[in-house]
Amino acid sequence: MREQLNNIKLEAEKRLNQAGSLAELESIRLQYLGKKGELTAVLRGMGQLTPEERPQIGQLANEVRSFIEKILEAKTKSLQEKERLSRLEKEAIDVTIPGKRRFIGKKHPLSIVMDEIKEVFIGLGYEIAEGPEVELDYYNFEALNIPPGHPARDSQDTFFINDDFLLRSQTSPVQIRVMEKKKPPIKIICPGRVYRSDAVDATHSPIFYQVEGLVVDRGVTMGDLIGTLQLFARSLFGEDTRIRLRPHHFQFTEPSAEVDVSCWSCGGKGCRMCKDEGWIEILGAGMVHPNVLRICGIDPKEYSGFAFGLGVERTAMGKFNIDDMRLLYENDMRFLRQF
Ligand code: DAH
């Protein structure tokens, strides 16, 4: 029995020293000290010993037990420490690694211009109106004094969904939608997307942006329109900007005009930008046609109004000196970061 105990001691010591994990230690502990363990088995057999042997073997067994326990304890501590260190190592953060750079987005040049336009008109007490991009033929053409078959439709050929629905070719239908709902005084602008079946080139796109304006009240005159546009042009292109109205024809205004601003590049002397004209066209405008007021239930004898429609791309291209409209839609970051 003495020999057995010594063997247990040697063997347990060896195995404990080789153990590489806490789980392994636990299984070794059970193997020797557990209820069904080897040392426990030896102690159980002590009944067969002589009374002289018993205390000696008992003492030896206790020594072996406390020997194993001591190693177990020491080994547990060192393995715990080792596991802690390896966990720390795994969780370690290298604060010297350069961070991931996040790029802050920028406003698209069209949004910059649209926001500036909104700012000017909100400052003048205008409200922002909206209308659908999928529009009824009635609002896009008919109610704007452009009946079916009228040649004025040709210049705004768009995408038809069926006979009644189309993608709006201008923001002017919003004028009708506003006047149907609201009685004068009316002062709105409507920035929005419009569609035409145009081929893409440096100055055309099948999708583009307009800002529509409408003012209806008692006694609104052409002078109000000119004053408003003058102020608008100065806010957007600088204090020295002048405007010029050229007679034109739109079905929904009478009289109508195309409006130019003095060239923002040369100030009016003539340069490449304005093709030596000194002027650049930016919008169409006029006094709201009596037929249009009437169709919306507004009496043209009592009320009058002016309206205008501005091309946002053209304005942005002028303001930022962009020579090809396609650049505005390609989403090339090298281009967009410049604004
Ligand atoms: N809707 C016209 C176009 O797209 C622009 C326009 C002209 C709008 C005169 C107006 C206006 O409100 O009065 O060509």
Among the residue ranges 46-50, 167-171, 275-279, 298-302, the one predicted with the least confidence is: 46-50
Determine, yes or no, domain membership for 51: yes
Closest ligand 1 atom, residue 214 Cα? 12
Q: Are residues 134 and 85 in the same domain?
A: no
Q: Are residues 63 and 130 in the same domain?
A: no
Identify the band that residue 225 occupies on the pLDDT scale cut at 50, 70 and 90: very high
- Residues 91-116 have a mean pLDDT of 91
- CA atoms of 282 and 265, how far apart (whole Å): 14
Q: Are residues 76 and 142 in the same domain?
A: no
Determine, yes or no, domain membership for 101: no
Determine, yes or no, domain membership for 35: yes
Overall pTM surpassing 0.75 (yes/no): no
Would you say residue 279 has pLDDT above 90? yes
CB burial readout 204-221, b (16+ within 10 A) else e: ebeebbbbbbbbbeeebe
Q: Are residues 124 and 65 in the same domain?
A: no
CB 131 within 8 A of CB 177: yes
Total Cβ atoms within 10 A of residue 112: 15
DSSP-based three-state secondary structure for 267: coil
Q: Which of 250, 258, 296, 314 to mutate to test the pocket of ligand 1 (most atoms within 8 A of CB)?
A: 250
- CA atoms of 278 and 268, how far apart (whole Å): 4
Q: Are residues 6 and 121 in the same domain?
A: no
Closest ligand 1 atom, residue 288 Cα? 13
Show which of 90, 125, 153 is a domain's final residue.
90
Q: Are residues 239 and 311 in the same domain?
A: yes
Q: Hey, whose CA ends up nearest to atom 12 of ligand 1?
A: 308
Q: Are residues 160 and 286 in the same domain?
A: yes
- Residues 29-56 have a mean pLDDT of 84
Closest ligand 1 atom, residue 284 Cα? 7
Q: Of 214, 253, 210, 191, which is closest to residue 126 (Cα–Cα)?
A: 214
Identify the band that residue 161 occupies on the pLDDT scale cut at 50, 70 and 90: very high
User: Angle at the Cα of 27 (from 56 to 45), degrees rounded to 5?
Assistant: 30
Structure tokens at 207: 């999708």
CA of 153 to the centre of ligand 1 (A): 13
> Which pLDDT value is given to residue 126?
98
> Which pLDDT value is given to residue 48?
84
Determine, yes or no, domain membership for 165: yes
The torsion defined by the Cα of 147, 155, 133 and 252, in degrees rounded to 10, comes to -50
Which residue segment(s) compose the domain that 23 sits in? 2-90
User: Angle at the Cα of 247 (from 260 to 211), degrees rounded to 5?
Assistant: 50
Determine, yes or no, domain membership for 103: no
- CA atoms of 286 and 190, how far apart (whole Å): 16
Q: Are residues 222 and 315 in the same domain?
A: yes
> Which pLDDT value is given to residue 176?
98
Q: Are residues 206 and 282 in the same domain?
A: yes
Q: Of 71, 63, 61, 70, which is closest to residue 15 (Cα–Cα)?
A: 71
Q: Are residues 201 and 320 in the same domain?
A: yes
CA of 24 to the centre of ligand 1 (A): 85
CB 214 within 8 A of CB 188: yes
Q: Are residues 306 and 225 in the same domain?
A: yes
Closest ligand 1 atom, residue 175 Cα? 12
Task: List ligand 1's pocket residues with C-beta within 6 A.
Answer: 170, 172, 212, 250, 253, 284-286, 307-309
Closest ligand 1 atom, residue 171 Cα? 1
Structure tokens at 198: 């145009």
Determine, yes or no, domain membership for 98: no
Determine, yes or no, domain membership for 85: yes
DSSP-based three-state secondary structure for 180: helix
Q: Number of folded domains in the chain? A: 2
Show which of 27, 61, 90 is a domain's final residue.
90
Q: Is the peptide bond before 98 cis (omega within 30 degrees of 0)?
A: no
CA of 172 to the centre of ligand 1 (A): 6
Residue found under tokens 């042997």: 53
Give, for 229, the enclosing helix (H) or strand (E).
helix 222-237
Q: Are residues 60 and 114 in the same domain?
A: no
- Residues 310-326 have a mean pLDDT of 91
Angle between helices 222-237 and 312-320 (to 10 degrees): 40
Q: Hey, whose CA ends up nearest to atom 3 of ligand 1?
A: 170
Among the residue ranges 114-123, 168-177, 195-204, 227-236, the one predicted with the least confidence is: 195-204
Determine, yes or no, domain membership for 182: yes
Show which of 56, 90, 124 is a domain's final residue.
90
- CA atoms of 11 and 134, how far apart (whole Å): 88
